C-alpha cells in the first residue's frame, strides 16, 4: 500500500511539473516581445552607437535559438530539453547556459534563505509555543509586540534601515556583496567567516520579519491544542510540565507549522528578490528579476521551472513524511 | 531519541544533522574562478563599482571575448584588449598604440598600418600584423554574427599581413574613416584579438576565459586573477611593453577590484566610507550628500555642479516624422518653441546640466562646425522658448485651442505619446510632458521595457533619446539622419526620426568620401547640410547628456577634471586605460 501511495503521489508530482512547464513555456510568449531583438538592440546601441545590420543579426540569432520555428515545434523541443535537464542558453547572456546561471545563484539563495527560513521557523515556533504556555517566563510576552510589529514591515524596508544603521552609520557590517572586495574565495575559515559576515544583514532583515509570523501561527495552534482532552488527561496524570509542553502540546501543534515550513522551503528557490537587490546578494531572486527585465525567456522558464519542481518536490516529500511526524495519518486511503 | 515511524527507524537527529550539513554546503560560493591573490595593500589597490553589472552581479564574468554576443567590453575587456590607437575627444589627441602609423592611398581604397615591434601577448607569443589582419578578416567573414562585423564587412575586401609589422587593408569602397572607426574612443573601436587563440573558435560563443591557462591573454598591463559574480580582480603585469617602450608610465595601481553595482545608495555609501575609489553614475541630488560626508570625493567638474562631464550623446525629443501631424516641420518647430529648456534643466537635473543646440556635443574638434552654422542657428534658434511663436505656427496650420487644449485641424486632441528609457527618460520625461501639457499639448509619458525595439522600428510617436554621432568631425552625426546612401552600398540607415531628404542624403555621401582632415571642405558641406536640416528640424533639441561619476581622492589622484581634461573618466569606455596610467598615488 505504501509503494502504491508513493507512486501515486509521484505521478501527481510529475503531472504538476508538466502543467507548470507548459504554462511556463507559453506565458512569457504572450508578452509579444522579442527577447533576441531586445537584447541585440541593447547590445548594438551600447554606449549610444547603433551598429549596422541589426536585422541580419537578429535573424542569425533567432535561428540559433530556434525561435524562428513554429510554436508547437519550439514547445516539443523545450519539453524534450527540459526532460534531459537542458534548460538551453540564456538569451541575454549567451553563451552562458541557464543551468550554469541557476547553479551559481542557487547556493547563495539556499544559504541565505534556507538558513534564515529554518532559523525563523525554529525561533518563531518555540516563541509562539512559549507565548501560549501559561508557565512560561513573563519576559517572553514583552518580546512579541515588537516581533509582530516587525512582521508587518516588508523585508526590503527593514533591510534598508538595517543597512543604513549597521553598515553605514556604525560600519559594523559590510554594505553589500557576498564577500569582501579582494577576498580570496578559498576553503578556509577566514573566507567562510567573511561570507557569514556578509550574510548577517540580509539574514537579519528576513529573520526579524519572519519570526513574528511563525510565532503568531504557533501560538494559535498551541492555544487550541492546550484545550484538548489529552492535555487535561496528561495534567491529571501528574506528568511533568516540560513533558506536557513538548510531547503533548508542541508536538501536536507543530503539524500545520511543518506544512508551512515545507512550502516555505520550496519557495526559497524563488529568492527574496528585493532583499537580494538591496544587499547585492547574487541569489536566484535577483537573477529572476533580471531575466524578467531582459525578457530572457529561457532564463525565466528555467528559474520558474526549478522553483516549481522544488515546490512540487517539497509537497511530495511532505506527503511522504507526514505519517512519520503524525502516526494518526496513514498511507491507507480514507 | 529515535523516532520509530512508518518509514522505518530513521533518526530525527540524523535527519536534522543531514539538513544542517546540506545548509552549510549550500553556503559555499559558486561560480568563482581565481588564482591565488597576492597580498596587495589598499593604497595600491583601486576599488571600482561598475555600472555594466546588473543587480549586484557580474553575469558576464566568464565572457572575456568581447565579440561573444552576451559579452560587454565595458565590464573589463576594455582593460584587456589594446587597440591600434586611442583617441581623446576632450584633448583632441591621438595615442598611436599597437599601430605605429597608418597611411591611406589618395582614393582611400587602401590602408597600410605599421604595427609596433617588440610587443608580446601575455603568453609570450609575439604580437604581429598577422593578429590585426586576422581580426579584420574574421570580422568581415562573421558579418552579422558579431559586434562590428557588419561595419567591417561593408568596407573591407581583404586584410593582408605584408610582413610582421605591416598590414594592408584593401577596401571595397573608399573608407577614409576606417582607421578612426577601429580606434578606441568612447564605446567604439575594434578589439584586436590574438590569432593563435581565436583561430578555429566560434567567436560568438568562445569565452576566452581560463585563469589556469592564463586566459584571457592580453598585451596590456593587467591580468585577470579572479572573475566571479561578486568581483573581477586584475593584477598588474610588470612587463608591459608600453612602459618598456616609454609610451606610457606603468600604472601605479597594482590591483583593481571591480565590484558590481547594486544601487545608487550603496554606491554613495561606499564612496563616503572610502570602500570604493570610483563609483558608477550618481544623480545630481546625491553628490552634495556624498561630498558633505567625505570631502575627498570629487567629480570631473570638481565639487560643484554639474558633477560631471558632457557625454557624446546630446538628448532630443524625437517625433516620428512619418506620423501626422509631426510630418509637418511647423508642428515640430511649434513643439520646440513650447519647451522651456532652462526649466527642464532646473527641475529634471536640479540645474546640473546644459542645453544642446545641435545633435552633437560641443567638443573641441567640433567647435569649428558650430561656428560655421552660427548664423543659421541665429535664424533657426533650436533653443528658443517662445510659446507665442508656437501658437502662431499651429494656428497657421488650422489647429484650434479649446479650453486651453490644442485640437488638430480635424477636431481631434493634439496629443503626443512620449516613450523613454533609463536615466534620461525618468529624469526628463515627466517634466517635459508637463511643460508641453501646460502649452495645450496632450503629452503623456511611458517607459516601456521594449523601448529599444519600438524606437528603432519606428513604433513610436514621441521619444526621448540621444545621438551617438560625431566627436571629431560631422560625418557620424549627419549619418544619423541619412535615409539612404549610395556611397556606402548596403549601409544600414539609422534615421530614428524617419525624416527623409534626398538632397541631404547626397551631401552626407559627399561628406563620407571627404578626407576627415579637410576641415575647410567639411565645414562647407556641413553648412549645406544644416541649411536643409535646421529649417526642417527632424528632432527637437533638448539637453547635453552628463556622466556624473564620483571620484575618490583618498588613495588616488589626477583623475580627469575640467582643468586637467586629458580624457573622459568613464570606466566603461574603451579609453579608461588612459585614466589608469595617468593616476597618481595620493
State pLDDT tens for residues B443-491: 999 998 778 888 888 999 999 999 989 999 999 999 999 998 877 777 7
Per residue in B226-253, pLDDT tens? 998 889 999 999 899 999 999 999 999 9
Same domain? A61 vs A81: yes
Q: What is the DSSP string of A244-297?
A: IIIIIIIHHHHHHHHHHHHHHHHHGGG--HHHHHHHT---HHHHHHHHHHTT-H
**How much is the pLDDT for A270?**
61
Q: How many domains, chain B?
A: 1
Range in A197-201, B3-7, B375-379, B422-426 with the lowest mean pLDDT: B3-7
Q: Does the CB of A118 have a partner CB in chain B at under 8 Å? A: yes
- B257: β partners: B47, B233
Q: How many domains, chain A?
A: 2
Looking at chain B, the whole-number percentage of residues with pLDDT higher than 90 is 81
Closest residue to A53, CB basis, from B7, B144, B468: B144
Query: In chain A, which among 3-62 make CB contacts under 8 A with chain B?
Result: 33-34, 37-54, 56-57, 59-61
**How much is the pLDDT for A52?**
63
**Of A109 and B309, the one with more pLDDT:** B309
Q: Is residue A97 part of a domain?
A: no
B187 vs A47: CB contact, 8 Å cut-off? yes
Q: What is the ipTM of this complex?
A: 0.74
**Of B79 and A290, the one with more pLDDT:** B79
Task: Name the most confidently modeled range: A116-120, A231-235, B60-64, B354-358.
Answer: B354-358
**How much is the pLDDT for B9?**
40
CATH number, domain at B418? 3.10.105.10
Kindly give the residue spans of alpha helices, DSSP state H, lying in chain A.
Answer: 2-29, 35-44, 54-64, 71-83, 98-109, 115-132, 139-151, 155-162, 189-226, 229-236, 241-243, 251-267, 273-279, 284-293, 297-325
**How much is the pLDDT for B3?**
37
Same domain? A110 vs A87: no
Q: Which residues of chain A have pLDDT under 70?
A: 1, 31-32, 41-54, 266-267, 269-272, 325, 327-334
Q: Is residue B216 part of a domain?
A: no
C-alpha cell at position B285: 541630488
B23 has pLDDT over 60: no
> Grid coordinates 580582480 are at which residue?
B233
B530 has pLDDT over 70: yes
Cβ atoms of residues B174 and A36 within 8 Å: no
**How much is the pLDDT for B33?**
55
**How much is the pLDDT for A276?**
80
Q: Does the CB of A279 have a partner CB in chain B at under 8 Å? A: yes
**How much is the pLDDT for A65?**
77
**Of B170 and A175, the one with more pLDDT:** B170
Q: Is residue B335 part of a domain?
A: yes
**How much is the pLDDT for B529?**
98
B290 has pLDDT over 50: yes
Cβ atoms of residues B500 and B458 within 8 Å: no
Same domain? A276 vs A307: no
Q: Is residue A98 part of a domain?
A: no
C-alpha span between A106 and A108 (Å, rounded):
5
Nearest chain A residue to B264 by CA distance is A278
Range in B151-155, B177-181, B520-524 with the lowest mean pLDDT: B151-155
Closest residue to B69, CB basis, from A61, A279, A295: A61
**How much is the pLDDT for A50?**
61
Going by their DSSP bridges, the two strands B415-419 and B442-446 should be labelled as: parallel
**How much is the pLDDT for A49?**
61
Q: Is residue A100 part of a domain?
A: no
Contacts for A190 with CB less than 8 Å, ≥ 6 apart: none
Same domain? A180 vs A112: yes
Cβ atoms of residues B458 and B498 within 8 Å: yes
Kindly give the residue spans of alpha helices, DSSP state H, lying in B156-284.
Answer: 178-182, 195-198, 241-244, 264-272
Number of Cβ within 10 Å of residue B520's Cβ equals: 9
Per residue in B361-372, pLDDT tens? 999 999 999 999
- pLDDT band at residue B581, thresholds of 50, 70 and 90? very high
**How much is the pLDDT for B35?**
54
C-alpha span between B263 and B285 (Å, rounded):
15
Closest residue to B273, CB basis, from A107, A171, A276: A171
Residue A37 structural domain: 1-92+295-334
A104 vs B31: CB contact, 8 Å cut-off? yes
Q: Is residue B420 part of a domain?
A: yes
C-alpha span between B561 and B568 (Å, rounded):
8
Q: Is residue A45 part of a domain?
A: yes
Range in A62-66, B19-23, B44-48, B227-231 with the lowest mean pLDDT: B19-23
Nearest chain A residue to B62 by CA distance is A96
Q: Is residue B402 part of a domain?
A: yes
Same domain? A17 vs A166: no
First to last CA, chain B: 64
First to last CA, chain A: 12
- pLDDT band at residue B401, thresholds of 50, 70 and 90? very high
Cβ atoms of residues A132 and A226 within 8 Å: yes
B544 has pLDDT over 70: yes
C-alpha span between B140 and B533 (Å, rounded):
34
Amino acid at each position: 500500500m505504501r509503494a502504491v501511495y508513493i507512486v501515486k503521489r509521484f505521478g501527481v508530482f510529475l503531472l504538476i511539473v508538466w502543467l507548470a512547464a507548459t504554462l511556463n513555456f507559453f506565458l512569457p510568449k504572450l508578452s509579444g516581445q522579442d527577447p533576441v531583438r531586445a537584447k541585440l538592440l541593447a547590445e548594438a546601441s551600447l554606449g549610444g552607437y547603433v551598429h549596422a545590420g541589426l536585422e541580419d543579426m537578429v535573424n542569425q540569432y533567432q535561428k540559433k535559438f530556434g525561435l524562428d520555428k513554429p510554436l508547437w515545434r519550439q514547445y516539443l523541443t523545450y519539453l524534450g530539453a527540459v526532460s534531459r535537464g537542458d534548460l538551453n542558453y540564456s538569451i541575454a547572456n549567451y553563451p552562458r547556459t541557464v543551468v550554469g546561471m541557476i547553479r551559481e545563484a542557487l547556493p547563495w539563495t539556499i544559504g541565505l534563505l534556507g538558513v534564515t527560513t529554518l532559523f525563523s521557523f525554529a525561533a518563531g515556533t518555540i516563541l509562539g509555543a512559549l507565548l501560549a504556555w501559561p508557565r512560561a517566563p513573563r519576559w517572553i510576552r514583552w518580546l512579541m509586540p515588537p516581533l509582530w510589529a516587525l512582521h508587518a514591515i516588508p523585508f526590503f524596508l527593514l533591510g534598508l534601515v538595517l543597512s543604513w544603521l549597521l553598515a553605514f552609520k556604525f560600519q559594523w557590517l559590510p554594505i553589500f556583496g557576498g564577500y569582501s572586495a579582494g577576498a580570496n574565495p578559498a576553503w578556509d575559515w577566514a573566507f567562510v567567516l567573511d561570507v557569514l559576515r556578509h550574510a548577517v544583514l540580509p539574514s537579519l532583515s528576513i529573520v526579524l520579519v519572519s519570526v513574528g509570523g511563525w510565532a503568531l501561527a504557533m501560538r494559535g495552534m498551541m492555544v487550541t491544542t492546550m484545550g484538548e482532552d489529552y492535555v487535561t488527561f496528561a495534567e491529571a496524570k501528574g506528568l511533568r510540565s516540560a513533558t506536557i509542553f513538548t510531547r503533548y502540546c508542541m508536538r501536536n501543534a507543530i503539524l500545520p507549522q511543518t506544512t508551512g515550513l515545507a512550502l516555505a522551503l520550496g519557495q526559497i528557490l524563488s529568492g527574496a528578490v528585493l532583499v537580494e537587490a538591496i544587499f547585492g546578494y547574487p541569489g536566484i531572486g535577483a537573477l529572476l528579476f533580471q531575466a524578467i527585465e531582459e525578457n530572457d525567456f529561457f532564463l525565466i522558464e528555467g528559474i520558474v521551472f526549478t522553483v516549481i519542481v522544488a515546490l512540487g518536490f517539497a509537497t511530495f516529500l511532505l506527503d511522504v513524511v507526514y505519517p512519520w511526524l503524525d502516526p494518526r495519518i496513514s498511507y491507507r486511503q480514507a | 531519541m529515535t523516532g520509530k515511524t512508518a518509514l522505518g527507524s530513521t533518526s530525527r537527529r540524523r535527519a536534522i544533522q543531514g539538513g544542517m550539513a546540506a545548509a552549510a554546503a549550500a553556503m559555499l560560493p559558486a561560480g568563482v574562478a581565481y588564482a591565488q591573490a597576492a597580498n596587495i595593500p589598499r593604497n595600491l589597490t583601486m576599488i571600482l563599482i561598475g555600472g555594466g553589472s546588473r543587480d549586484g552581479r557580474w553575469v558576464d564574468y566568464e565572457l572575456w571575448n568581447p565579440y561573444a554576443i552576451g559579452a560587454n567590453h565595458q565590464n573589463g575587456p576594455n582593460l584587456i584588449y589594446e587597440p591600434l590607437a586611442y583617441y581623446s575627444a576632450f584633448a583632441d589627441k591621438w595615442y598611436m598604440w599597437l599601430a605605429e602609423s597608418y597611411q591611406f592611398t589618395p582614393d582611400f581604397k587602401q590602408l597600410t598600418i605599421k604595427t609596433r615591434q617588440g610587443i608580446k601577448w601575455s603568453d609570450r607569443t609575439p604580437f604581429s600584423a598577422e593578429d590585426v589582419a586576422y581580426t579584420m578578416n574574421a570580422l568581415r567573414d562573421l558579418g552579422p554574427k558579431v559586434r562590428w562585423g557588419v561595419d567591417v564587412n561593408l568596407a573591407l575586401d581583404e586584410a593582408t599581413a605584408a610582413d610582421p609589422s605591416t598590414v594592408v587593408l584593401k577596401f571595397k569602397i573608399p573608407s577614409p574613416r576606417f582607421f578612426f572607426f577601429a580606434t578606441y574612443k568612447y564605446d567604439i573601436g575594434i578589439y584586436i584579438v590574438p590569432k593563435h587563440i581565436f583561430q578555429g573558435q566560434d567567436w560568438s560563443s568562445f569565452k576566452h576565459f581560463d585563469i589556469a591557462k592564463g586566459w584571457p591573454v592580453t598585451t596590456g598591463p593587467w591580468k585577470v586573477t579572479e572573475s566571479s559574480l561578486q568581483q573581477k580582480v586584475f593584477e598588474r603585469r610588470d612587463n608591459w611593453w608600453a612602459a618598456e617602450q616609454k609610451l606610457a608610465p606603468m600604472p601605479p595601481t597594482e590591483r583593481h577590484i571591480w565590484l558590481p553595482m547594486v544601487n545608487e545608495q550603496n554606491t554613495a555609501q561606499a564612496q563616503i566610507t572610502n570602500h570604493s575609489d570610483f563609483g558608477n553614475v550618481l544623480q545630481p541630488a546625491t553628490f552634495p550628500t556624498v561630498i558633505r560626508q567625505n570631502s575627498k570625493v570629487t567629480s570631473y567638474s570638481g565639487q560643484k555642479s554639474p558633477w560631471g562631464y558632457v557625454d557624446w550623446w546630446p538628448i532630443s525629443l524625437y517625433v516620428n516624422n512619418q506620423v501626422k501631424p509631426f510630418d509637418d516641420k511647423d508642428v515640430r518647430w511649434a513643439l520646440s518653441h513650447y519647451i522651456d529648456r532652462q526649466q527642464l534643466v532646473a527641475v529634471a537635473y536640479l540645474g546640473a546640466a546644459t542645453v544642446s543646440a545641435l545633435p552633437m556635443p560641443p567638443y573641441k574638434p567640433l567647435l569649428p562646425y558650430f561656428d560655421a552654422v552660427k548664423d543659421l542657428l541665429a535664424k533657426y534658434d533650436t533653443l528658443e522658448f517662445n510659446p507665442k511663436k508656437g501658437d502662431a505656427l499651429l494656428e497657421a496650420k488650422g489647429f484650434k485651442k479649446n479650453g486651453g487644449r490644442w485640437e488638430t485641424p480635424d477636431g481631434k486632441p493634439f496629443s503626443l505619446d512620449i516613450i523613454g528609457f533609463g536615466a534620461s527618460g525618468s529624469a526628463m520625461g515627466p517634466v517635459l510632458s508637463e511643460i508641453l501639457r501646460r502649452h495645450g499639448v496632450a503629452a503623456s509619458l511611458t517607459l516601456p521595457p521594449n523601448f529599444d525595439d519600438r524606437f528603432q522600428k519606428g513604433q513610436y510617436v514621441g521619444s526621448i533619446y540621444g545621438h551617438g554621432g560625431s566627436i571629431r568631425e560631422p560625418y557620424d552625426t549627419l549619418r544619423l539622419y541619412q535615409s539612404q546612401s549610395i556611397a556606402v552600398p548596403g549601409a544600414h540607415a539609422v534615421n530614428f526620426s524617419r525624416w527623409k531628404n534626398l538632397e541631404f542624403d547626397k551631401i552626407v555621401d559627399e561628406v563620407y568620401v571627404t578626407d576627415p582632415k579637410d576641415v575647410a571642405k567639411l565645414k562647407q558641406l556641413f553648412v549645406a547640410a544644416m541649411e536643409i536640416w535646421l529649417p526642417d528640424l527632424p528632432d527637437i533639441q533638448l539637453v547635453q547628456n552628463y556622466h556624473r561619476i564620483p571620484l575618490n581622492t583618498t588613495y588616488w589622484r589626477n583623475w580627469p577634471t575640467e582643468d586637467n581634461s586629458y580624457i573622459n573618466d568613464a570606466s566603461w569606455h574603451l579609453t579608461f586605460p588612459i585614466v589608469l596610467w595617468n593616476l597618481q598615488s595620493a
